[in-house]
Structure 1
Amino acid sequence: MNSHVEMAAAFHRAGFDAIDVHMSDLLGGRIGLGNFHALVACGGFSYGDVLGAGEGWAKSILFNHRVRDEFETFFHRPQTLALGVCNGCQMMSNLRELIPGSELWPRFVRNHSDRFEARFSLVEVTQSPSLLLQGMVGSQMPIAVSHGEGRVEVRDDAHLAALESKGLVALRYVDNFGHVTETYPANPNGSPNGITAVTTENGRVTIMMPHPERVFRTVANSWHPENWGEDSPWMRIFRNARKQLG
């Protein structure tokens, strides 16, 4: 795991009780998802990425009937939210069969650079159903990226067109002129149409490769407008979650 402490801090700042639940707790039956309203899968290198990033983690859920049912029940339960970041994004993209409205989600595969890319990148929040990104559409902001397998992979052009036409793309990489880009290094992995986050049709589940939890505080930015307070604009994701759940 990485950045799970920052993730917990961001949700705590938004008014949540953040509880650290390890997969071993779920697989061992010590903790269940029934009493939770929000689920966040954080970054890391689960199973050393040896089966493909996030795939081993996803299979530990899919091949355990009890845990699989628990996740499926959570995703179908009204008044729940879920966020997957980095390895959590890769993992949840492999749970499409459990998540309503995620059928068109892509896979996330090896960067075109064939390298681990870790730095700030510029992204734009696009119009989408994502409940976590409400009120942020059109914003172009720097965000931390840190991955080796973040490139969106679709089956074919028709799959990409369907993903776009349904409005399920939530974030895109943009260049210094604010234009959507597939060009390295502004796009660190070569994803088509700059895609780096997608959401479900109802907006309750959003997955993204960048790390908003690493930049929710203004001080994390090397430069910022003078009128920013302690919180950066990315803090709105976490406050949106609190607002949605009441």
Structure 2
Amino acid sequence: PKVAILREQGVNSHVEMAYAFHKAGFEAHDVHMTDLQSGRAKLANFQGLVACGGFSYGDTLGAGIGWARSITFNPALAEQFKGFFDRADTFGLGVCNGCQMFAELADIIPGAQDWPRFTTNQSERFEARLSMVEVLESPSLFLQGMAGSRLPIAVAHGEGYANFKHRGNPAQALGAMRFVDNHGQATEAYPFNPNGSAGGLTAVTTADGRFTAMMPHPERVFRNVQMSWTSGDINATSPWLRVWQNARKWVG
């Protein structure tokens, strides 16, 4: 199945993301926003869409907001993305900067109306480290069979705070992952939770599970050698590869 590895200028995690999809049995295509704007690529030709992490527009317009506005302010592109999201056979993943971008497109993603906007970390600093997350029970097609797992994961963001003051509904948003402390409890305490989001929330999904937005970077830790510690074979893949294997299984 074809998946568009979507990037904008400043995005820097597209190669790892493409490789993870390749490992799971997808045909990964490098798609820059200019490819969509010029018509060189069309989302109608893809079953999956992944907005990758990085710093689109240097985050000078707000994390992921400039990227999203390049779509919403372009009627043809907005229609193309809406058409993709509305198809029953498609799926999408937004990671880090891509998570912020997806959150800004929530109005055209079916079932994403309660998602928050992601704003400046409570520490008011860029945070980059391995953090511990717990996978929650959710409809997310990417995280099926993983609920209850507590795993290290890479984080690298300056604006990952799930902010419901601007948009969304914390009572209705479907959480998919949360930061936990060294006792395995959901936490807002720094540095266990790098951005301070309430309840440790760091991933959201839709009721049908087709679209998920997450702040941490699973594509940077899908090999055991990338973990902080493992008792497993360092040459083997880590449990995070299941994210992409689940997507492949969902496609059928």
Shorter-chain-normalised TM-score: which range?
A: over 0.9
Q: 1:34 aligns with which of 39, 44, 49?
A: 44
Question: RMSD over aligned Cα, in angstroms?
Answer: 1.3
Which aligned pairs between 1:1-246 and structure 2 lie closer than 5 A? 1-155=11-165, 159-163=169-173, 168-226=174-232, 230-246=236-252
| Change in CA separation of 1:221 and 1:192 when aligned onto 2, cut-off 3 Å | same
Tell me the distance in 2 between the aligned counterparts of 1:55 and 1:236.
Answer: 29
Tell me the distance in 2 between the aligned counterparts of 1:159 and 1:5.
Answer: 34
Q: In the TM superposition, what is the alpha-carbon distance from 1:161 to its structure 2 partner?
A: 1.9
Q: In the TM superposition, what is the alpha-carbon distance from 1:228 to its structure 2 partner?
A: 7.4
2:7 aligns to what? none
Q: In the TM superposition, what is the alpha-carbon distance from 1:75 to its structure 2 partner?
A: 0.4
Deviations 1:45-71 (A, max 9, x none): 111212210000000000111111110
Q: TM-score, normalised by structure 2?
A: 0.93
Unaligned runs of 5+ in 1: none
Tell me the distance in 1 between the aligned counterparts of 2:151 and 2:183.
Answer: 12
Runs ≥4 in structure 1, deviation > 3 angstroms? none
Q: TM-score, normalised by structure 1?
A: 0.95
Richer in strand (by share)? 2
SS at match of 1:34: helix
SS at match of 1:19: strand
Unaligned runs of 5+ in 2: 1-10
